[in-house]
């Protein structure tokens, strides 16, 4: 009980510090960098359910991000759906896409599953590029509306291009999704996912519905990415297919691995580090990506299990993940 209370205090301090940051440092550029890093954290939380908990190697995760962004963009441009309503179908469509991908794909494992998901990510990106009549082709969707919020005494306020409203939006959304992920990881579903990751055959013999839970992981992870995609589209005001390439999927996977597979706080910290590190190294513009790569190599050599991962994978699921959140 004391450990749970201490962990709750740490999470509360982290959330309060994040919410107070714009007051201490209102620099729009810094807030924009942190907003993008928190968007990465949202994606990392979703992929962590698929890769970290369920153990399904996914190399096309950017496709769900794209599906959510285009879903909100199309609903807003053609039917004038506001952001607060449009983000719901964006998450649902992306989640259903994950389930639809999982039905044929989850019958293969390991490297073969990675190849299938890689192909899915490229198919989605190329489809959005070629379906010019609906998606705008390489030029993408333009003029997507920004979120609006009603404030007493001030009326309806448009987020526009200001950095602070989006920072708070992404910060609160990431915190809410993190709470859901923590609850999931500690539930029977989360423990079943860990059992599947550790030994799928043993989990199946113990009565765990392996295929259904894999589909659930795909759906939940896809829904979180779709929600992040809707926020991204509303923030940018435009979406183009080249924003959702293979490199993005690899970056999000690297964030999950860096933080530690199965760790919620690790996924967030890994995303914040890798999301902001290229900007921190901007002073060394010519050698920025070289330093970025060297940092990753050194990290994987010194601590291959990640920042909050465990060196031993043989721990009981309930113990391993009660403390990793």
Find the DSSP H helices in 131-209.
132-135, 163-186, 188-198, 200-205
Please report the pLDDT score of residue 109 as a whole number: 85
Q: How far apart, in Å, are the Cα atoms of 161 and each of 31, 32, 38, 81, 154? A: 12, 10, 17, 19, 18
Distance CA(293)–CA(271), nearest Å, equals: 15
* Distance in angstroms between the alpha carbons of the first and the last residue of the chain: 15
Residue ranges and CATH numbers for the domains of the chain are 2-324 (1.10.3470)
CA distance 94 to 61: 10
CA 269, CA 177: separation in Å to the nearest integer?
A: 15
The pLDDT, as a whole number, for residue 38 is 95
Cα–Cα dist 302/173, whole Å: 33
What confidence score (pLDDT) does residue 285 get? Answer: 65
The answer to pTM > 0.85 is yes
Please list the rounded mean pLDDT of every run of 10 residues in the chain (325 residues). Answer: 66 82 88 95 97 94 98 96 97 97 88 93 96 94 95 88 94 95 94 94 94 96 98 96 94 92 92 85 73 81 83 42 44
User: In angstroms, rounded to a whole number, what is the distance separating the alpha carbons of residues 32 and 38?
Assistant: 10
């Amino acid at each position: 009980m004391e450990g749970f209370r201490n962990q709750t205090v740490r999470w509360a301090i982290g959330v309060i510090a994040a919410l107070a940051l714009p007051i201490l440092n209102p620099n729009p550029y810094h807030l924009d960098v942190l907003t993008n890093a928190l968007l990465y954290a949202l994606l990392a939380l979703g992929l962590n359910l698929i890769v970290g908990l369920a153990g399904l190697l996914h190399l096309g995760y950017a496709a769900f991000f794209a599906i959510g962004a285009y879903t909100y963009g199309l609903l807003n441009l053609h039917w004038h759906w506001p952001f607060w309503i449009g983000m719901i179908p964006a998450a649902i469509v992306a989640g259903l896409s994950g389930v639809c991908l999982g039905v044929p794909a989850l019958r293969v494992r390991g490297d073969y599953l990675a190849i299938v998901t890689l192909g899915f990510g490229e198919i989605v990106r190329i489809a959005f590029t070629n379906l010019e009549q609906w998606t705008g082709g390489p030029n993408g969707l333009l003029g997507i509306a920004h979120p609006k919020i009603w404030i007493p005494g001030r009326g309806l306020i448009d987020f526009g291009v200001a950095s602070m409203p989006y920072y708070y939006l992404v910060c609160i959304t990431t915190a809410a999704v993190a709470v859901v992920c923590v609850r999931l990881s500690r539930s029977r579903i989360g423990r079943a996912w860990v059992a599947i990751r550790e030994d799928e055959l043993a989990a199946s013999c113990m009565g765990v519905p392996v295929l259904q839970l894999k589909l659930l992981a795909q759906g939940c992870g896809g829904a979180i990415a779709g929600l992040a995609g809707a926020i991204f589209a509303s923030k940018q005001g435009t979406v183009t297919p080249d924003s959702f390439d293979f490199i993005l999927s690899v970056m999000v996977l690297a964030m999950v691995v860096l933080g530690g597979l199965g760790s919620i706080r690790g996924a967030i910290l890994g995303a914040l580090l890798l999301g902001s590190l290229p900007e921190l190294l901007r002073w060394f513009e010519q050698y920025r990506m070289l330093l970025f790569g060297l940092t990753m190599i050194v990290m994987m050599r010194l601590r291959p299990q990640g920042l909050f991962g465990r060196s031993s994978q043989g721990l009981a699921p309930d113990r391993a993940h009660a403390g990793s959140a």
